Amino acid sequence: MFHPTRRSFTTSSFLRSLKYENITVENRGKVALVTLNRPKQLNALCSPLFKELNDAMENIQADSKIGAIVLTGSQKAFAAGADIKEMSTQTFIDNYKSNFIADWTKITTVRKPIIAAVNGFALGGGCELAMMCDIIYAGEEAKFGQPEIKLGTIPGAGGTQRFTNHIFSNTENRNFVFLKRLTHAVGKSKAMEMVLTGSLISAQEALSSGLVAKVFPSDKLVEEAVKTAEIISSYSNPIVMMCKEAVNKAFELSLNEGLHLERRLFHATFATADRKEGMSAFVEKRKAKFEDK
Ligand code: CAA
């Protein structure tokens, strides 16, 4: 878990001072832009990269000036998967003892929204990393896939789980509700085809299957992702976090439990100054000024 109270910064200039080898972190106003930066290896995901990414996310979570995050790679690759060279000599006992890649999913505990802006290849762990984010935007040349089977292994960071639809029984009206687990929404048949053949899907296929929210020209992708992150950041940060929490719980709770949590969070917004400000601003026909309180 990230601990938002562990450090607290009053200025996001702190983010600019963060220096890493495998990623870069920049401010775009209230948006943190995190870029995977191993271009020669097509942003292959090695352990040092994840250490840095987790550290950066912890700092961003703690920075009160930042409202949302964009995670991107290069034009050629968001990330071409786990670093095969790093893994090639590892043994079962090494991986079991170190619980290899367990810390790769830490990004799912970040409470601020994360938009993955995917240009080029998002393969294996790269596709899984994109699916751990809250929204995926793709450049028109993006390619998504889980090609682990070609290496004699299987997806290890959620690829077999986050792609798959989950069916929940709606006990309130006896209909079946199909909840597409995330962004994870390509469905069993497509997920099986991708995982069992290692075949890749295009940005358009990813869009039509619900894996990505929008497709943009490659050179406009990051800009568009930042624009969306700016919109999110302009709202009350605690309310944004409640929205994210509520939507994510839909993948874990029964419908009744999820609806209960949503109602309680809705009630909780009435304890915030920002809810009062938002509704007063509407009534008074002016723009709301949120203070994250
Ligand atoms: N790990 C380590 N290095 C990688 C890499 C990876 N996943 N993907 C690419 N690279 C390296 C290549 O070895 C190459 O390095 P050198 O120049 O030193 O030889 C460099 O990046 C450029 O790659 P290519 O020459 O292969 O570029 P290409 O344009 O011809 O092909 C590609 C691009 C189709 C993405 C191809 O690189 C590829 O198939 N990569 C591997 C994809 C893959 O199998 N990913 C799954 C990894 S396993 C995993 O992720 C497990 C998990 O779930 C956690």
Tens of pLDDT, residues 75-110: 999 999 999 999 999 999 999 999 999 999 999 999
Measured distance CA(137)–CA(116) in Å, rounded: 6
What pLDDT is attached to residue 165?
43
What pLDDT is attached to residue 3?
52
Closest atom of ligand 1 to CA, residue 155:
53
What pLDDT is attached to residue 185?
58
* Protein residue whose Cα sits closest to atom 16 of ligand 1: 41
What pLDDT is attached to residue 18?
77
Q: Identify which has the larger pLDDT, 164 or 158.
A: 158
What pLDDT is attached to residue 186?
75
Rg over CA atoms, the chain: 20
What pLDDT is attached to residue 29?
95
**The one-letter amino acid at 179:** L
Measured distance CA(263)–CA(246) in Å, rounded: 10
Measured distance CA(136)–CA(118) in Å, rounded: 7
**174 pLDDT above the threshold of 60:** no
* Protein residue whose Cα sits closest to atom 11 of ligand 1: 41
Neighbours of 245 (CB within 10 A): 13
CA of 79 relative to ligand 1 center, distance in Å: 9
Closest atom of ligand 1 to CA, residue 147:
44
What pLDDT is attached to residue 189?
86
Measured distance CA(159)–CA(132) in Å, rounded: 10
CB 71 within 8 A of CB 133: yes
Tell me which residues are annotated as active site: 82, 125, 128, 148
Measured distance CA(118)–CA(95) in Å, rounded: 29
Neighbours of 258 (CB within 10 A): 18
CB 130 within 8 A of CB 209: no
What pLDDT is attached to residue 14?
63
Question: In the structure, which protein residues have their CB atom closer than 6 angstroms to any atom of ligand 1?
Answer: 41-42, 44, 80-85, 101, 121, 123-125, 128, 147-148, 151, 155-157, 159
User: 209 to each of 117, 177, 183, 203, how far by Cα in Å?
Assistant: 17, 17, 10, 10
Q: Identify which has the larger pLDDT, 174 or 261.
A: 261
Select from 243, 259, 265, 253 the least CA-distant residue to 172.
259
Measured distance CA(141)–CA(218) in Å, rounded: 7
**166 pLDDT above the threshold of 70:** no
Identify the residue whose tokens are 């709301």.
Answer: 288
Residues 6+ apart with CB under 8 A from 285: none
Q: Answer left, alpha or beta for residue 112, where phi above 0 means left and psi between -120 and 50 means alpha.
A: beta
Tokens representing 74 are 């290069």
Q: Please give the order of strands across the beta sheet that includes 135-139.
A: 23-28, 31-36, 68-72, 114-118, 135-139, 214-216
Per-residue pLDDT averaged across 258-280, rounded? 97
